[in-house]
Structure 1
């Protein structure tokens, strides 16, 4: 049973219940390897019985670490950033850390640096950015000093994004498509840049050029908004027979918009997505897309900011072929 009333259990209470010193309790709290397994079990049981909660601020005074990682995200309503935040939370907990998340308009460097300052005031050990714009990381580097900084899906993760986008375009080429258009993400997002580069490079390697390029804001509404322009392009003699879309949500909107205009997918035009979000298999038609190992990338980034090595590498991206693509 935990304590009743407003008095919270402290380290001394845990030590007394477990029959150990307060130093031993501290070692258990801070995941020190220098604790016998049976002792650790006894201390953890005492903590549970007393309802003891670790005070990160107090622990930081003695250890110079709160075991908390700051995460800055611009939009958790989109499936990609939302999945990234969830993956970072799991990866952090797996190595005995937690995340504190701050949201900021990525178009506003001032909002981003303010978010970073608030996280630093909480004593976070590092900062990880989800879905950064091109201006985000330079702005942060001038704000956070020596605090470790990393971004999900950039650096090595950006190379994964390029390879994944290449898979989608290669799939369309293998199906016989030679006039392939692109619906890219926002031009100043690092992930969008990597995905667009992978698609463009794959077309160029096959001796092809894009049969049209549009940009959206990652939302389904953005995909639907360009459906009229794509429809007009389809009617041109050299119009596209396929569209490689930079994420699943825009692909959903594009397909819905095309169908409202009487354009069959994949009968008249094939469409690919990116992310393989949880709903992609239930689109009409089911969406051909590419899957990236966001959980593995999160493990790599968390290990990087902690100066460690991830216990396993991220899996390579994979094409998931469904019904929204067909041979030309």
Structure 2
């Protein structure tokens, strides 16, 4: 069985696509580890359950039996319908209870499973919580070790556990940064660093859902740099790239904190304006035209823009919303450019 087939089997009924499973971003890795822990926990507990029963340790047997029952129900729900009875922190907490009780009542050398927990914190918890838990984990296990073992052995164990946790946190920071870089590559235009069309469709879907649910206003402004092809033809693509970079930098400084700015075509851009009606959006678009008109984006030619503006309507799709705005932009260009038109 190939690794991909194994991942697909583990992630049965999950929300992840084939592409995500193939690329294995951090959320998918976390889900795989979470599910594997859910599968193996009842298996690991079963032998301990039998030992406690044979020894007549009724209280401990009851704790293990209850934990086994909960994890089995959780596993069935997870596999059948992707529903979580236990969150990752709660799953780790159950593991912790079983771990400590096993150390103190059955076998003290179970403490060496603590290294697996160190890895589990990184794979199942968010970065900041993982760091906090690893620090607490070293202190808890160090205290247990000094109680159970000679001083020298306990000290070596505690230092090795801390070193392991430190190394994992360094690797975590590297992978977290790598994950952020991958997200930026997937959602940002490499030339201007503006969000791309993929990010635009995601944000428009969110804005449309909020509009339909809470009846909040939302508008979009489509912006086209006038005669951009002529700039490339007459002055070269390097000058065209300079205009695009300067345009994004200039307009980004004018955006409000709630606005989102996207490059979805060569010289075409869109601004999503949350909680903004058509009248206010038109005023903002007019200020954009004036800003670009007064800003020297190029040393070789004056730059202007045309804008189309559309407010979201109840009952219409995102595609229709975009099409209305695109039509308004076409009307602005047909009207002589350097102006705005409303959908």
Both structures adopt the same fold (TM-score exceeding 0.5): no
Larger of the two Rg values belongs to structure: 2
TM-score calculated relative to the size of structure 1:
0.29
TM-score calculated relative to the size of structure 2:
0.28
- When you count strand as a share of all residues, which structure comes out higher? 1
- When you count helix as a share of all residues, which structure comes out higher? 2
